[in-house]
Chains A and B, each alone.
Chain A
Amino acid sequence: NAGVTQTPKFRILKIGQSMTLQCTQDMNHNYMYWYRQDPGMGLKLIYYSVGAGITDKGEVPNGYNVSRSTTEDFPLRLELAAPSQTSVYFCASSYSIGGGYTFGSGTRLTVV
């Protein structure tokens, strides 16, 4: 039981490049989330999903896109990377809307 797995762990992008951050969970959780954490700050919600085929915007969705074709996978797409997207990205999942969260180990992204 691996929990929530994120890849890659580190990535450096040039301005204008694009990439996909991968997130997969093996706990059969319906709810999945993407957060970003800037230095010295709490986490901010980018997008979330309440089940396969359903996604919705969080607090800071601009510059990102998501898809949820299966229960297990919830990739985050960055188009036209900008320095403001330099951050640590966390994926999380929960069994229910009121349930405890399990976080992945994070992806540290630098845009130069």
Chain B
Amino acid sequence: GIQVEQSPPDLILQEGANSTLRCNFSDSVNNLQWFHQNPWGQLINLFYIPSGTKQNGRLSATTVATERYSLLYISSSQTTDSGVYFCAVRGGADGLTFGKGTHLIIQP
């Protein structure tokens, strides 16, 4: 099946810093999504982005499908951005395949 690798696995930043999270995938995809899992375990869909660039407030994402990677940018980090960020992709007709996530800690 399709492989998803996320980097870095862990990231600790000060409030106000910017960060870039990366997602590499092993095959062509028809669906790519970024999720934030907050410290209470809730999964929130951030972006549906199989290709191109999207922005939502301080967050933006870019997927270069031909080169099989996606980037999630977080600017002016806040403590509420802490949690785990997952990239998930689908290459066929079944559900999304998730990476292992990037654990982000924003310190005040």
Q: Is A105 interfacial (CB-CB < 8 Å)?
A: yes
State whether A48 touches B43 (Cβ < 8 A).
no
Which chain B residues have a beta carbon within 8 Å of chain A's beta carbons? 1, 4, 30-31, 33, 35, 41-45, 48, 50, 86, 88, 90, 93-101
A82 close to B (CB within 8 Å): no
- Option from A33, A41, A88, A100 in Cβ contact (under 8 Å) with B95: A33
Q: What residue of chain B has the Cβ atom nearest to residue A45's Cβ? A: B95
Sorted nearest first, the 9 A-B pairs with minimum C-beta distance are A42-B98, A100-B48, A103-B43, A45-B95, A43-B98, A33-B95, A48-B95, A42-B100, A98-B31
Residues of chain A lying within 8 A (CB to CB) of residue B1: 59
Q: State how many angstroms separate the Cβ of A38 from the closest Cβ of chain B.
A: 11
Chain A: residues with Cβ within 8 Å of the partner, total of 26
Which among B50, B96, B101 is the interface contact of A101 at CB below 8 angstroms? B96
Q: How far is the CA of A102 from the CA of B44 in the complex (A)?
A: 8
B44: nearest chain-A partner, CB-CB: A103
For residue B1, give the distance in angstroms from its CB to the closest CB of chain A.
7
Chain A residues within an 8 Å CB radius of B41: 88, 105-106, 108
Instruction: State whether A100 touches B43 (Cβ < 8 A).
Output: no
The answer to whether A58 touches B95, judged by C-beta atoms less than 8 angstroms apart, is yes
